[in-house]
Amino acid sequence: MEYEYEAMKEIATFINKSIDELKFDEVDRVVKRLVDAYNSKSKILVMGAGRSGLVGRAFAMRLMHLGFNSYVLGDTITPSISKGDIVVAISGSGRTELIITAARAAKKTGAEIIAVTSFLNSPLGEISDLVLEVPGRTKLADEHDYFARQILGIHEPLAPLGTLFEDTALVVLDGIVVGLMYRLGKKEEDLKQKHANIEL
């Protein structure tokens, strides 16, 4: 069980370090913008590819439990978006072509883009209105990233591909959900009322 244990510890340690490195003014701006969207009944469209998309789905579900009009890109019930709506685009590298293309299309409708990425100066970061930088190794691995990972003690076999970004993003977005609960005066009972009650 050595590898499993070491991987779990390493991922948890990385998440803890990343939380300490977060720019909480960015977190605050994201939370405030989402509160505004809630009050104006604007739509929130969440998107991400692959595992980042799964993180996005978890976030969109919690937003729905809070009473937001939240949707996930690609679902058949997702409505059109327009000016005043928000797109939360999740991409560790900020270079995922599908997400950049969708974000550009959303921008043309007048929607506001919030990027969740590890790279502020990525194509996604550059077209976004707000950027929430979430540290994490992504699939984008150049030589500089390799040496930085070695210095930090992050070894590739223990956290393959974008694992560190995806896990950290999930924790950060769950933290934002709690912040929204407090700012909107919601309790766990309120979320339970929106929770699915027909399950197999």
The answer to whether residue 189 is domain-embedded is: no
Give CA 83 to chain center in angstroms. 21
- Nearest-angstrom CA–CA distance, 174 and 62: 8
Residues labelled catalytic: 166
Residue 193 domain-assigned? Answer: no
pLDDT tens, per residue, the chain with 200 residues: 778 888 888 889 889 999 999 999 999 999 999 999 999 999 999 999 999 999 999 999 999 999 999 999 999 999 999 999 999 999 999 999 999 999 999 999 999 999 999 999 999 999 999 999 998 864 545 444 444 555 555 555 456 667 889 999 999 999 999 999 999 999 988 888 888 777 65
Residue 50 lies in a domain: yes
H or E element at residue 176: helix 163-184
Total count of domains within the chain: 1
User: Which tokens in the block code for residue 79?
Assistant: 């409505």
Q: What CATH number did the domain enclosing 148 receive?
A: 3.40.50.10490
Q: Are strands 112-117 and 43-48 parallel, antiparallel or unpaired?
A: unpaired
